[in-house]
Amino acid sequence: MSEFLEAVTGFPTLVFTSALVVVLGFWLLVLFGGAEADGFDPDADLDVAGLCGVPVTVAASMAVVVAWFTTLAGSVLIARAGLTGLAHTATDLVLLLVSVPMGWGAARVLVRPLAKLFSDGLGPSRQDFIGSLCTIRTGRVDAGFGQAEVTAGDGAVALVQVRQNPQDREGALTAGSRALLYAYDDAGEFFWVAPYAASLDPGRPRRGHD
């Protein structure tokens, strides 16, 4: 344990340990509804870095985690090698410089399977989601905040912006809740949702009246 703590709090791992604390704090806010996964600089162009398809927060988080793990493992190996003085300092600097491109490279690989979860470029097909069931992915949904996961007819999964009418008295929506997408707001680029009831399921067989 002491070896681990020394590596985490020592140079160069400490650089990414601090960044990792910020990343964890941000995702805790997302989990409890205090922020949106793509709420930070959503217009950032990541194409140049090869990280397009996901919010900048997701790409940065993956890069930080990989860089942190790389410096942690490297620091432990350097300590066990018994290097001291100038050799130790030089090796630490090389490790720091190497960890950055490694984090970036790993993030480029990881964003590919995740990109479809953050695709909001649905174009005209957005209307196809109306009447679909979704799963809330943020801690709360209100008139100005909320995200949900919905599955398209081809099986692709999309993360969409959702809002709930403040006059809706059917119940509050929280992470994991099932909801119905019943309208799309073109100006705000979000879906209006309502708590799901079996009687509203568009795919539910309906009985004829006797």
Per the DSSP assignment, residues forming a β-bridge with 162 are 191
Among residues 130, 7, 132, 105, the alpha carbon closest in space to that of 49 is found at: 105
pLDDT band at 124 (very low <50, low <70, confident <90, very high): very low
Tell me the mean pLDDT in the region 152-172: 82
Give residue-wise pLDDT tens across range 9-33.
888 889 899 999 998 988 888 888 7
Looking at the whole model, is its pTM more than 0.85?
Answer: no
Least confident of 25-34, 86-95, 127-136, 175-184: 25-34
| Ranges for all domains in the chain classified under CATH 2.40.50.140 | 123-200
Residues in the chain: 210
Give residue-wise pLDDT tens across range 148-161.
999 877 777 888 99
CA 49 to chain CA centroid, Å, is 18
In angstroms, the CA 113 to CA 91 distance is 34
In angstroms, the CA 138 to CA 16 distance is 27
Among residues 137, 121, 143, 128, the alpha carbon closest in space to that of 179 is found at: 137
Name the amino acid, one letter, at 44.
A
Domain 123-200 belongs to what architecture? Beta Barrel (2.40)
CA-based end-to-end distance of the chain = 72
